[in-house]
Copies of this chain bind each other. A is one copy, B any other.
């Protein structure tokens, strides 16, 4: 099978040595790469008793068969680990240049184990691996450390770096990338896992591409599609992912005031169009990407502190740092976003935590004394920026908020659990399940906790539909019948996508399961049917669930915060229609052939070739 180097590098930090793990074809055929293969390794390395911040938790960084090939958006990697935020399965995926450089070192991925006795970083090329002392980098933010590491290694290297948040073992910490394209593998606390390993960074550069079975056909296919992708995703190219902030607020998809409020026309001030007109200095994209959704912004005279040229806030970041907190001052949101990128903080979870604290402050559960005098009121941009710093530095109340809202609610007490908005410990992303009912079910069941990308299904309730999955048009948002099947199919499919790996935005570019199957055949040379292809996704999705089952996850955890299930947001133009989660789950387990408790049945595991999980 082509498309792979057929080996991963195991790195033992404790002993500072490495070994190669060969990958056989059966394994590759079953789990593909990315988070699929990553989960397969995680199953061997960790279980319910593994301490996420202990030496036993591996940090698995995987590329996919498409990485280094001409497949568009394929320079993505997946980080797989047990989450210190949720205590369960975690994957966090990231685009940019890292995946490409990593795979060009001659490995399909890394399994990083143990803990270094002192801070270090890894410098990996196809010539070998070096363990380098990182004492001088410890304490530096991601931008600083990244630039320094490239100085010390190679200017065109790519580095996965943690900031102070990761060093401080903050469970909201992600793993950052800077330079040509500032990006974070943000969700679930991978940065803290790195920090717990005393691992400041992984820098990679190589020149070994994996083979492609039919390069000519692949090049032709990609060439033939680039125009279509570019056209369909043009608004994102023109105004970034934030282009839909205002329209999502209007229709009721953007969460506001910690998921309480119905309308907030001030969102317009944070829309991509405003960013474009005011602070944009350029665009940036991942390697091999025709979409180029990334923004470069710069605000030297930002009243909340200067913002150097780096990634502008994405839709999700604006929703969390702006919508949830009602901060309509773009300068504050941009600064908070830059701070998250520097500290290495997940913007979704960080914004959620600040909004949670704002509500606790409003309700008198915490006070100014707890906040070192900060007036943590709705819409207060200064308070937002200061709280982000406190979270990154694990300072004062920031130390509690950095544990995520589930944990913070336990610490705060006083009914705050009622407005701690998470599923399985992961804060909800910025698509309201009361608007897109498919996301109600998908947030409730996604393997890493509330995740919009695991199903990516909201698009299929608005403008997308996959004929290969049996849909001739987008699915009605409020139709219950058949909704669970749609969600399960899309979760399976996106599990496959996260293993291949391509970007979810390709789906907006009208790239279908058939396109992906064709590319898979062209890259690997492996001839399989569409059904077999899609079944890989189902296998991987079930494997992830089985890891969670080991961690004690079952139906009881497949739920949504009470506010999402019961609170009606009202406002001009909004139609109230609460998602019927019980019925959706009922259909879902049935469709998946899971037990009524949400555990994959033996029959299903056998069908998927997952007997090893029994």
Contact = CB atoms under 8 A, between A and B. Distances in A.
A418 B597 contact: yes
A504 interface: no
Interface string A224-264: 00000000000000000000000000000000000010000
Contacts of A610: none
A596 B554 contact: no
A418 B596 CA distance: 9
Nearest to A580: B580
Contact of A556 (B417, B556, B558, B585): B417
Interface string A566-598: 111000000000111111011001100000110
A305 interface: no
A282 interface: no
A566 B419 CA distance: 24
Given A418-B597, A597-B418, A582 B565 contact: yes
Nearest to A363: B597
A16 interface: no
A562 interface: yes
Given A581-B582, A583-B580, A556 B596 contact: no
Contacts of A565: 581-582, 585-586
Residue of A419, A554, A556, A566 with most partner-chain B CB within 10 A: A566
A563 interface: yes
B562 A586 contact: no
A555 interface: yes
Interface in A530-561: 552, 554-556, 558-559
A529 interface: no
B555 A562 contact: yes
Contacts of A479: none
Contact of A554 (B418, B567, B579): B418
A514 interface: no
A585 B566 contact: yes
Contact of A596 (B552, B566, B589, B596): B566
Interface residues of A, number: 30
Contacts of A568: 586, 590
A583 B584 CA distance: 14
A144 interface: no
Contacts of A417: 556
Contact of A555 (B418, B552, B582, B589): B418
Contacts of A585: 565-566
A415 interface: yes
A419 B419 CA distance: 27
A552 to B, nearest CB: 8
Given A415-B554, A555-B562, A567-B596, A582 B579 contact: yes
Contacts of A597: 415, 418-419, 562
A556 B418 contact: yes
A375 B285 CA distance: 65
A107 to B, nearest CB: 39
A147 to B, nearest CB: 46
Given A418-B554, A568-B586, A596-B566, A578 B580 contact: yes
A415 B552 CA distance: 7
B415 A563 contact: no
A585 B563 CA distance: 11
A170 to B, nearest CB: 26
Interface centre among A554, A558, A586 (most CB of B within 10 A): A586
Nearest to A583: B578
Nearest to A582: B565
Nearest to A556: B562
A311 to B, nearest CB: 36
Contacts of A580: 578, 580, 582-583
Contact of A578 (B418, B578, B586): B586
A581 B567 CA distance: 12
A585 B566 CA distance: 6
A556 B555 CA distance: 17
A225 to B, nearest CB: 41
B567 A578 contact: no
Contacts of A578: 580, 582-583, 586
A555 B562 CA distance: 7
Residue among A565, A582, A583, A596 with most chain B CB within 10 A: A582
A259 to B, nearest CB: 10
A71 B556 CA distance: 47
A599 B586 CA distance: 30
Nearest to A581: B582
Contacts of A558: 562
B563 A596 contact: yes
5 contacts: A562-B597, A566-B583, A566-B586, A568-B586, A568-B590
Interface of A: 260, 415, 417-419, 552, 554-556, 558-559, 562-563, 565-568, 578-583, 585-586, 589-590, 596-597, 599
Nearest 8 Cβ contacts at the A-B interface: A565-B582, A578-B583, A566-B585, A418-B597, A566-B586, A567-B596, A580-B580, A555-B562
Given A415-B552, A418-B597, A565-B586, 11 more contacts: A260-B596, A415-B554, A415-B599, A418-B554, A418-B555, A565-B585, A566-B586, A566-B596, A578-B582, A578-B586, A580-B583
